[in-house]
Structures are given as C-alpha cells and as structure tokens.
Amino acid sequence: MYELIRKTLIIVLCLMLSKMLHLSVSVYVVLFAIVVATTSFSKHLSSLLQRLTPSVVAAIGAVLVNQAFAAHPFIIWTCCVLYFDHVRRHADNNLRIRMATLPLFMIIFITTYHNSSDYTLAIPNIIRDVVLSALLAALVASLVNHLMPVKAQPAKPVIVPQPVTGNDRLKMLVLVGGGLAFIMINEITSAVFCLVPLITSAMQPTHAHMKQHATEKILSQIGGCSLAVIASLIYSGTEVNLFTYFVVSFLLVYLILHWSHYAEVGDRAIHADALMGFLIPYQLYVARYSNDFGLSAIALRAVELLIALLIIYTLAHWLNRLGQKALSQTSV
C-alpha cells in the first residue's frame, strides 16, 4: 500500500500541475510522470532525468529534421522510416523494445504536428513544454521519493531475447510507417495517439503475440476511455474545485494501480496499460470547461483507437493463419 500511495502521489501531483500551468501540450507532464513513477525508483534528480532524456532528445531531433526539410514532407517521412528500421533492428529483447516505444512516439508526434497547417507555428511552444514537462515530472518524483523513500526493492527485469528478422522490420515499416504517412497526408492530429498501439504491436515477436496484444489493448484503451467518461459524468462541472479534482483523481489512479498490482499474472499487462489508457483522455478532455464535459472528444478517441486496433487484430489474424498454413504444407 505504501508503494502504491507513493506512485499515486507522483502521478496525481503532476496531473494537478498539468491542469494549473496551462501548457500547450500539458499531457506530457502526466505521461512522463507515469514513466518515472512506474519504472524509476531513484530519488536523485539526475537519475530521473536520465530516464526521460531519450524521449526529449528524440523530440528535439524530430524538430531539427522537420525544420531542415520543412518543404519536403516525403523526405521527412523517409528519415522517420529509416530511423524506425534502425530502432527495430537493434531492439532485440523485451527491455529495449519497452525503452524504444516512447522516443518513437515523440518523433511521430512532432512530425505529425509539424506537418499540420494548424499546429506548425506552435512547434516552438510544444518543444519548450516537452522539456519543461520532463523537468517537472522529474522534480515531483524526486520530491515525493525524498519524502517517501522507496522501501520495496525493485524487481530485476528479466531480459528475454527476441531475435529480429527481415519480416519483423518489414512489419514495423508497413504498420508504423504507413500509419504515419496516413496521418501526415490527412492531417488527423487527433489520431496521433493511435500510433502507440501500432508501435507496440509491430514489435511483437510473433503474429499470435501481435493478435493477443491487440486484444489486450482494446480492453485497456477502450476501457480507459470508458472510465474517463464515468469520471467526467461524476464531476459534471465541479472539477473547477481543485480539492475535488485532486481527491477524485487520487482515488481513481490508486484504484487502477491497486488492480494492476494485485491482478493475476496473465492480466497484469492489461491493468498496467489501463493506467495510460485512462489518464491520457482524462487529462486531455476531462475538466476542459466545455458544454459536453469532453464526452465527444473521448468518444472520438475511443473510435479511432478501436479502428486502429481492429486493423491490427485482423492483420495479425490473417498473417497467423497464413503462417500456420505454410508451416503445415512444409511439414507435409
């Protein structure tokens, strides 16, 4: 319980800051808080910043590439695809795959917004807020970890080798590269977060794992959006009271962390991902002072995620069937 309260405080305090500071992309304060609260157990600011540095560097690098080739979106896309292939080639175990996900998303996020006519001029503010979000998340985590020192010994991660084949690299390029091209061409900035499941699905070792991963993502992400809808209806406009917002947020985050901690081994991945699936729409769309309580924006996110995940599930299903069919013919 002590560890759960410590993690909840880090996340909720960053959530409160993201609402009060009115940053251009305040969701990154929460996103980085989840990363440091669940994966870093140090109280030293340098160690916490080191955990977030690859993501910030990836965002800055994406800005430089986009600025250098601003008049040539195809070159920007090609540079992104080449980097995706480079990352996939070197992500040959579960730990490297997990660490590569957020930096890859940062590149996709910056590239998508830079090539959108509505957000091109906002890129300097966005990159400033990304850097500030990393600093704020690390400062809050360091403060909480000093006040509530980590008592539980962090479990040593089990490294599982996952050899990378040419098919794995091709799958990464088709799914993630194709998804990025679709969003860049159509300027669907609201769907940029849908590429996170594309990244994680494309890095699954087999088609069967990819299919199972898509199923788990549907449960956690759509379930997270549903919980955000319930939270918005609970507030019904009273989220302007910071104390109410803090208490409700604390209870919801603690509840999800509790479910994740005490879940069955096979269900832990779903519960852990549900925290991200809930907090992203909760931060983005709840307590936005709109007449519909953010319900339309949450519904749009849920539909976009569902479409993307169903495409992944269908593709994985048929690839798995074709693979099994080819294997059976070879054995005969």
Task: Tally the domains of the chain.
Answer: 2
Q: Is residue 156 part of a domain?
A: no
- Nearest-angstrom CA–CA distance, 308 and 326: 27
* Whether residue 173 is found in the same domain as residue 44: yes
* Whether residue 111 is found in the same domain as residue 222: no
What is the pTM assigned to this prediction? 0.86
The confidence score (pLDDT) of residue 292 equals: 62
* Whether residue 313 is found in the same domain as residue 246: yes
* Whether residue 53 is found in the same domain as residue 130: yes
The confidence score (pLDDT) of residue 227 equals: 86
* Whether residue 169 is found in the same domain as residue 215: no
* Whether residue 208 is found in the same domain as residue 292: yes
Q: Is residue 221 part of a domain?
A: yes
* Whether residue 47 is found in the same domain as residue 104: yes
Q: Is residue 262 part of a domain?
A: yes
Q: Is residue 42 part of a domain?
A: yes
Q: Is residue 197 part of a domain?
A: no
Q: Is residue 198 part of a domain?
A: no
* Whether residue 93 is found in the same domain as residue 242: no
Q: Is residue 326 part of a domain?
A: yes
Following CA atoms 167, 171, 174, 180 in sequence, which dihedral angle do they give, to the nearest 10 degrees?
-140
69: containing domain: 1-151+165-187
The confidence score (pLDDT) of residue 38 equals: 83
* Whether residue 177 is found in the same domain as residue 216: no
* Whether residue 330 is found in the same domain as residue 263: yes
- Nearest-angstrom CA–CA distance, 79 and 81: 6
Per-residue pLDDT tens over the stretch 100-115 = 888 888 888 888 888 8
* Whether residue 214 is found in the same domain as residue 108: no
Kind and range of the H or E element at 300? Answer: helix 295-331
Q: Are 40 and 107 within 8 A, CB to CB?
A: no
Beta bridge partners, 161, equal 93
Of all residues in the chain, what percent are helix, strand and coil, respectively (each to 5)? 80, 0, 20
Per-residue pLDDT tens over the stretch 217-250 = 888 888 888 888 888 888 776 666 778 888 888 8
- Nearest-angstrom CA–CA distance, 183 and 163: 30
- Cβ atoms < 10 Å from Cβ of 147: 10
Q: Is residue 158 part of a domain?
A: no
Q: Residues of the chain whose pLDDT is less than 70?
A: 154, 237-240, 263, 265-269, 287-292, 327, 331-332
* Whether residue 9 is found in the same domain as residue 98: yes
The burial class, CB within 10 Å (0-12 / 13-18 / 19+), for 118 is: exposed
